[in-house]
Structure 1
Amino acid sequence: MGLEIRKSCIFIVLAIQFSISTALISSPDVNPPYPKAFSDLKEVIVKGLGFQADDFKITGFDLRDTLVGRSVAYEFDVEIDNTLLPVKLIEDVKRWEYVDLPIFRVVKGEVKPDHENALVERRNLDDGLPELAPFQLAGPMELWIQDAKDVRLSLPHDVDAGVLRKVILADGAVVTVKGARSVSLRHPLELPLPFNQSQNGFASGLLALADRLRHASRSEGEPLVSLRIVGPTSLSSPTSSSSSNNRLKLKRLAPGLVELSSASKMKAIETVSNIDLQEDVPTLLTPDRFATLWPLTSINGSNANLLGFESLLSSVLGSKASKKGSFKLTKADVSAQTYVKIGFEVEKKLQEADGLDLSSFPEWRTKPENLRMHFEVLGKIDGDKVVPERVVQIDPLGIEHSVSPDVLTGNTTMSKMPIVHPPPNPFAL
């Protein structure tokens, strides 16, 4: 009887151990099901790489390793001689973080990644959509406000102007825009040539171009520059020690349409309408005379990004930059963006058509049958989608191979090894 009891206990223990092992084997995969945004991203990347479906295997896309960062994207379209030249720039992300975004969450019925058990703790994103840093705009120009029903208007005290759709800035009026998500040009601008690039660390070429545009807008009596601003939270007069000089006057022109003018008009900056841009601008435009770029008066002429834009525009214009004429800026869009960075691996069977040279492989190593390539994708979050901006191949961490001494010596026996006698006094070398 006692023997039967012991056998039963042993059988129960074995059954429990087997059930535990089975549970471990049948546990969810290390890479849980992808949310739809990342499934679509994976499909786009696979099509872009041009691999055949039966020729490769893609792994990775682990959401627990996804890094999130915020940056600013610049998109311009320059037209010269009926040729359209698109330019797209992205500022370097200053800080990458592990952030739990809504698009990381899988749909109902799928397994959600266990972020609590991840090696790096993720934080929840609680500060909403990305925003541009506050900036200043100066008239004469017009602003079209989009998606800002509760925009705050301060002149410098808060004013109830209703739902703002359009704001006209008169000549001399300056406002500070906060909380904007993007700023774009509504109408194309025709800009004069020649265009001179400065050489003294000051973007005199762009500043002269902007001042010519400002003078033309004054002469025609109506704003030439029309901007669309998405999502601003406030428009206010600039703050300074002398608030009386920055006070703005409000004039209601129609429902949703107001005009802002300067109560005490700022001293007009001397224009360069009668200056020969070919010869005089590099010497006459100095930081003391033209410190900021109209209409973005918060950007200084020595700004690093501004200098970079000037060099880029000069290279885009090429030989046309030094000749009289004009070019068009058909698109200009600056927007705050959220980016994700995630790595993945592609495993592909080696074929003769790949032309991989294996002659450098040592004889003792097994020739590889599969080729593993590591990639990293930089994607922009656009609503509930992830749009790939850049896919680059990266080199994995190097692996040190341990080799036994007999392989290094060519399987030479100890009897054939050379005998080396050390010197009697090693410090006498």
Structure 2
Amino acid sequence: MSKFQHYLHDYLVANGTPENVAVYINMLALLVIMLMGILVIDFLIRKILIGAFTNFATRTKTNFDDFLISNKVPRNIAHIIPLLIALEFFPIVFRDFLYFENIVEKGLQIFAIILTLWIVRSLLNTLKDYLKTLPSLRDKPIDSYIQVFMIFAWLGGFLSAVAIVTGTSLTSFLTAMGAASAIIILIFKDTILGFVASIQVSINDMVRIGDWITFEKYGADGDVIEINLATVKVQNFDKTITTIPTYALISDSFKNWRGMMDSDGRRIKRALFIKQDSVIYLTQDAVDDLKRIQLISSYLESRQSDILDYNNANAIDKSLLLNGRNLTNMGVFRKYIDTYLKNHSAINKDMMIMARQLAPTNQGIPLEIYAFSSDKRWENYEYIMSDIFDHLIAALPYFGLEIFELPSSSNFKANVPPN
């Protein structure tokens, strides 16, 4: 290279080119030759490296090398050798131009930092894609960890680049940056909060990818599809996407349905509101009539026998139905619900089954059904619950009970006298 420079310089001067012009022409000619050579070397190395990686990937069973290619790891690595050549020979090209030599050298050093970050990012993306294919890690917030590492990597690269441009050591530059730490914290507030939240979410196992969560504040009700440093993406059941700040998972309250999905049943908790004036004591004839209902016939036989024995033993005056012990239509209906649920094929018999009466309201007496369906799939769960309440609503009149319902316009029209 040096001999070529001398030869070209002597040739230009011998042909009448001024000394200062010959120096510039000499530099430009070498620069063009160097750039063309580096581009050719870069092209050849990329082709060879990518081809070698592709052939190797087709022969292996693991998909890790496939992710290396898709994330352009070989392509980025191929730039290393041309960069080393440039760092070695560009000072020779600009040896007569110290100012340009200094600028180009710093530019190449900064590009080396950027190239290093590209390679690190490609490797981390490859690792992320590969880990997501492992069943044990598929529901972990891997994106958050990768983003945290890349933030520190980019920050280190930026500080190194600034130190190169200013000509100061990295230690001195970091010392000076300590005074501006408050501004840095303010600028990266969301990132810092997201970083802390990601760690807490992961350590406490609060949310995993694939979990069904309900977050009323953000209108989210669906499956978590992505967890990264800044946001959590939830695909709602209407297929819309809701984005939630990661730190909101630890600062606000939300519902995670994973416990239900991991359990043996999905809870049914709904009430029928009974009109209070439809609740009555049952006469002997009414009890005998209800014995025709097979689910509770044996219960009524046993219960009625116990009540008669008690009333007779205590000489209870039954001319007034209120006296002594009695059955009520609502109590018998509660027993019917309990027996019906325990015989229902879709109800998990190993979990809580209960029909309970809640405190009266201005809309009647809530009679709540509390049980768990064996099938937790949403569509089947809704079908099971509807099937149960269809039956119970239709069964109410057999017990002389009525459901409370606000009057409609037809009720008012029926009470209007004709003209």
Q: Under a length normalisation based on structure 1, what TM-score does the superposition of the two structures give?
A: 0.21
- Higher Rg: 2
Query: Hey, which of these two has a bigger chunk of helix by percent?
Result: 2
Q: Under a length normalisation based on structure 2, what TM-score does the superposition of the two structures give?
A: 0.22
Structure with the larger RCO, 1 or 2 (CA within 8 Å, 6+ apart): 1
Query: Hey, which of these two has a bigger chunk of strand by percent?
Result: 1
